A and B are shown apart, each in its own frame.
Chain A
Amino acid sequence: MTLSPQSLLGWTHEAQLSVLARADSARLKAFADPLIAGLPDISVIENRTGLVMLPMRDTAQGTHFHLGEVLMSEARIRAGGQEGYAMRRGRDLEAAMAMAVVDLAVALGHAQDACRTFLEAEAKAQSDADTETLRRVEATRVDMETF
């Protein structure tokens, strides 16, 4: 019998995955590694690099076209009747595997508090970095006057 995957209180699956995909690689690996011991035996279905084509919408005529391909690392694992999945930019297969482990742990309801704490810390770091970038951008706001 396959059980529905568990969810993390206060977190959508989308937000969880998006934060993990941008999480600091070293911190993600350090967090995921000890989680493995508490999980059932893991089968690795996929752990590879590959390309994701990125389309864009043209604002002149509305046409969808391909901008180019982005290198990604992907991991797909299975344990306890649930799957963990990851896709991250770049060629860091270990980081992709770490993300999949966290996704799997959440789906199995394992170490929920630790996962939530990790995600909250990473989300804050990402949000702070974005805010700082945008404050620097705001410093370049220009009010044009014509003469």
Chain B
Amino acid sequence: MAYVATRGGERAIEQSQRLFKAEMGTITQDRVAEIRTAMPYLIDRVMGEASLYDEDLAALALAQTGGELYEAVLLLRAWRTTQPRIAVAETVTQEGLFTHRRISAAFKDIPGGQVLGPTLDYAHRILATEVLDGQAHKPEPVEQATRPSPARQPSVAAWQAENGLLNGSTPDTLTGNDIPDVTREPLLFPAKRAHTLQSLARAETGGVLALGYAAQRGYGQAHPTVNELRLAEADVIVTHPRGTQFSAGRVKVSQAEVVSKKGEQLELGFSATLGWNEVKVIAAATLDLNSKGAPKGAATEEEFFLYHTEGVESSGFCIHFKLPHYVTFQSSLDAMRDAKAKKTASEKSPEPAE
């Protein structure tokens, strides 16, 4: 692909940015706070795709880009590069999660039981148009139970392994900076599992859903059932200079296991991300479940789905096509004109018969 440097248009560029920003008006601290409060799931989606957890920064990115999600994620990814990495926290485990929602579509009686948590799964989808007529839409308060749900819940997969339904997982000895990191190493194929899961954690939701949905509809090898889905909070455990480990706060995480029968046993696909985004983790876990042995070029093949669900790269590549391509396009036109001229010339002077 050939590019050409262009000059000119500085004023137009400056004015075009002003025009974009004019639509949003003045961005204030109050606006950022309102976005943060009113749209937690959008904030979560942006934080997950940016791979940077901070609700205020995510709300600011949304305010600054007018909700243009790809731009908001790009802003956060860019801002992230200005910050030092202070530490790598202790590894989060499923059993340690402060759990808000935990369901299974595979087993109704899982150890610890099922709590629906915050969800619209069973809601009537009715738009509250009365709000537009000036009537406030106030949610009914939750009728709290007398006793709290256990904060920590056991693992369904561990219970299945104990009952011989699953091969138990092998404990990973890598911790801290030894864990492979796609932000510091190239993604090579076949990918390390740590790279695959990290890439899916930061993948673009729509892209993951499209490819995961393709697998679910039949373009994959295994049909998924949700083994365990959790929306939870994870403690970020760091180390004091004196060696004391402590929680520096909690972050929201989503985690999904999908299960399929393989021979006499069950096989799991897994995904997790920062923030609460269950569509993304179910779709991503479906891709993980289907990736083993997937044919080259299939939606479920690791290289295919990891390359095509990286939102910053894919949106950047897509929008680069609107930037000046004058040399390549003129070259195509020249080739087209040349072919046309040759064809015309050959029609005017046919080969003499032998």
Contact = CB atoms under 8 A, between A and B. Distances in A.
Interface of A: 5, 13-14, 17-18, 21-22, 48-72, 74, 76, 83, 85, 87-91, 103, 130-144, 146
21 contacts: A51-B52, A52-B248, A54-B92, A56-B93, A57-B93, A61-B193, A62-B169, A64-B91, A64-B194, A66-B183, A67-B198, A67-B253, A69-B52, A69-B53, A89-B251, A91-B54, A130-B151, A137-B148, A141-B149, A143-B113, A144-B114
Given A91-B54, A139-B143, A50 B85 contact: yes
Contacts of B183: 66
A63 to B, nearest CB: 4
A53 B250 CA distance: 13
B171 interface: yes
B16 interface: no
A65 B198 contact: yes
A27 to B, nearest CB: 16
Contacts of A61: 169-170, 193, 270
B59 interface: no
B147 A69 contact: no
B175 A64 contact: yes
Nearest to B247: A18
B61 interface: no
Contacts of B146: 135
Contacts, number: 255
A144 B143 CA distance: 20
Interface residues of B, number: 95
Contacts of A132: 144
Nearest to A50: B86
B117 interface: yes
B52 A21 contact: no
A58 B251 contact: no
B242 A13 contact: yes
Nearest to A107: B242
A136 B236 CA distance: 24
B181 A66 contact: yes
B247 to A, nearest CB: 4
B89 A135 contact: no
Given A70-B54, A130-B98, A138 B202 contact: no
B83 interface: yes
Contact of A68 (B53, B86, B150, B269): B53
A7 to B, nearest CB: 11
Given A57-B172, A62-B172, A68 B249 contact: no
Contact of B100 (A57, A137, A146): A137
Given A50-B85, A68-B48, 16 more contacts: A22-B250, A51-B83, A54-B92, A54-B251, A55-B88, A55-B91, A57-B94, A59-B169, A59-B270, A64-B174, A68-B202, A70-B236, A135-B144, A137-B99, A140-B117, A140-B119
A85 B239 CA distance: 10
Contact of A142 (B83, B88, B114, B234): B114
A63 B247 contact: no
B244 interface: yes
B245 interface: yes
Contacts of B148: 130-131, 133-135, 137-138
B145 interface: yes
B240 interface: yes
The 6 closest A-B pairs by CB, nearest first: A62-B169, A134-B148, A89-B249, A17-B246, A138-B145, A71-B54
Interface string B172-195: 101110011111000000000111
A14 B253 CA distance: 23
A51 B157 contact: no
Contact of B249 (A13, A21, A135): A21
Given A67-B273, A142-B114, A52 B236 contact: yes
A48 B273 CA distance: 26
A63 B194 contact: yes
Contact of A55 (B83, B113, B175): B175
